[in-house]
Amino acid sequence: MPAGTDLARDLAAIVGDGHVRVDEGALAAYARDATPLFTARPQAVVLPASTEEVAAVLRYATARGIPVVPRGAGSNLCAGTVPLEGGIVLVLTRLDKLLEISPEELLARAQTGVTTAALADAAAAKRLLYAPDPGSRTVSTVGGNVATCAGGLRGLKYGVTRNYVLGLEAVLPTGEIIRTGGRLWKDVAGYDLTRLLTGSEGTLAVITEATVALLPAPQDTGTGVAYFDSLADASRAVAAVIAAGIVPATLEFLDRKCITAVEEYAGLGLRGDAGALLIFGDDGSPATVSGNLARIQEVCAQTGALEVTLAENVARADALLAARRCSLPALSRLGSLTILEDATVPRHRMAEMVDRIDEIADRYGLRIATFGHAGDGNLHPTCVLDPDDADGAGRAHEAFAEIFAAAIAFDGTITGEHGVGAAKLPYLTDRLGEDQMALLRRIKRAFDPAGILNPGKLGS
């Protein structure tokens, strides 16, 4: 690898002087992402302004065997953008043009660095819906959302990012610019590289532009909350809702520990005596929304809810959704280090899984609260460590290894929506088996023969 100053000079020749950083501040900032406990310093941070500049950086890096880690907002929770082997962090936030919103074709086209919220807001202004809504959407980028196949609160009814990506422009590590898919839902010309790149976590190619499907914005939305004695009761209510033929847009849960933390943090007026809380919501025509919400209310009452309330207005609905969205900050303030995880199980095994998590947490002397997407079985067990717990991080690591093994044993997975990155790679073989791991490595080589792109992550 060239010495730091040579590297900076070579990269500046591609992107211009002002867009390469090798100062201590930058190298320290880009040594980490939103994942705690993972740090590795790059040699340089480069911010290209175009697809051609991305291609030139990649050709340069491949020729010299320099690692390149593509990065959007760095909001991922799996150490997916930590430059484990140093090299270049390729920051894509200058590719920030929202290129097109087409009500006629029900699609949007954006450069990789546009935030998901900016895309969704521009669509909403034309009465269109971009359905994926990860918690990070105000900061996270379209490219990052595609690279991680981001999920969100509407997954049950609307699916996840992969269900909306129609086409991509991407640059191979060897510098070729490819365009996969296009503007059509129906297109089977070639292997499905659009979906292969979606969720590939910056290990196969650098996504520079995405075309995504939009939907007509729903006319109406509604939200409600149900309190239960236990998560087992809440889980039975979820099953009963599905059995009633309703697949609502939102079906989120908080366990007892989360309810307490959120209420102390935000004072939203949540019941303190409940063992679990379900936030449910739907969208569509006013008749559909009111019909489905009334039916969910009825089903929750029949399955033993302590209380079920429909939000009487938008402000109250927002407060309920805020209860879910602020679970993480509410828990984080209780300790010095917060580890947010992402184990996922079939929805009918959710209560069983949370019991197992609680048992594991008790055994390791850890505080782990769980919230998440009840409709998807996508759990976010969140470990909060006390500042004076010297070996807490080590115990948490062991506890989560047990939690992931339990998720797999329940026909689930080690990550529903956060990604593998460096954080989950040690558990991936348990999920996929050795033969599939070897296949991932062969696919990685088909894209990246020099192994420069995000090394130490998927495909390594």
User: Taking the complex as a whole, how short is the minimal distance between the CB of residue 222 and a copy of itself, in angstroms?
Assistant: 15
Q: Which of residues 134-173 bind a copy of itself (CB under 8 A)?
A: 148-149, 151, 155-156, 159-160, 162-163, 172
Alpha carbon distance 116, 118 (integer Å): 5
Could you tell me the smallest distance in angstroms from the CB atom of residue 278 to a copy of itself?
Answer: 17
Cβ nearer to a copy of itself, comparing 180 with 223? 180
Instruction: Assess 193 for contact with a copy of itself (CB under 8 A).
Output: yes
Is residue 220 part of the contact set for a copy of itself (CB under 8 A)? Answer: no
Is residue 81 near a copy of itself by the rule CB under 8 A? no
Asked if residue 328 lies in contact with residue 257, where contact means CB atoms within 8 angstroms, the answer is no
Give the interface segment with a copy of itself, choosing from 213-221, 259-267, 353-361, 381-389 (CB under 8 A). 213-221
Rounded to whole angstroms, the Cα distance separating 312 from 257 reads: 26
Site residues for a copy of itself, 59-78, by CB under 8 A, read none
294 near a copy of itself (CB under 8 A): no
Q: Decide whether 94 or 348 has the Cβ nearer to a copy of itself.
A: 348
Is 252 a binding residue for a copy of itself by CB under 8 A? The answer is: no
Q: Which is nearer to a copy of itself, 99 or 439 (CB)?
A: 439
Q: What is the dihedral of CA 369, 353, 393, 199, to 10 degrees?
A: -100
Query: What torsion do the CA atoms of 18, 23, 25, 31 make, to the nearest 10 degrees?
Result: 100
Contacts for 52 with CB less than 8 Å, ≥ 6 apart: 177
Half-sphere exposure of 282 (CA within 13 A, CB side): 19
Match 């190619």 to its residue by tokens: 205
Residue 174 to residue 56: CA distance in whole angstroms: 9
Site membership for a copy of itself, residue 333 (CB under 8 A): no
With contacts defined by CB under 8 A, name the span among 22-30, 57-65, 380-388, 413-421 that binds a copy of itself: 413-421
Would you count residue 442 as binding a copy of itself (CB under 8 A)?
Answer: yes
Helix, strand, or coil (residue 32): coil
Of positions 4, 346, 365, 394, contacts a copy of itself by CB under 8 A:
346
Q: At what angle do helices 314-325 and 256-266 cross, to 10 degrees?
A: 120
Give Dmax over CA atoms of the chain in angstroms: 70
Q: How far is the CB of 210 from a copy of itself (least distance, A)?
A: 15
Q: Which is nearer to a copy of itself, 6 or 192 (CB)?
A: 192
CA terminus-to-terminus distance, the chain: 20
250: contact with a copy of itself by CB under 8 A: no
Q: Cα–Cα distance between 67 and 137 in angstroms, integer?
A: 28
C-beta closer to a copy of itself: residue 260 or 303: 303
Q: Tell me the two tokens of residue 128.
A: 């269109």
Judged by CB, which is closer to a copy of itself: 218, or 304?
218
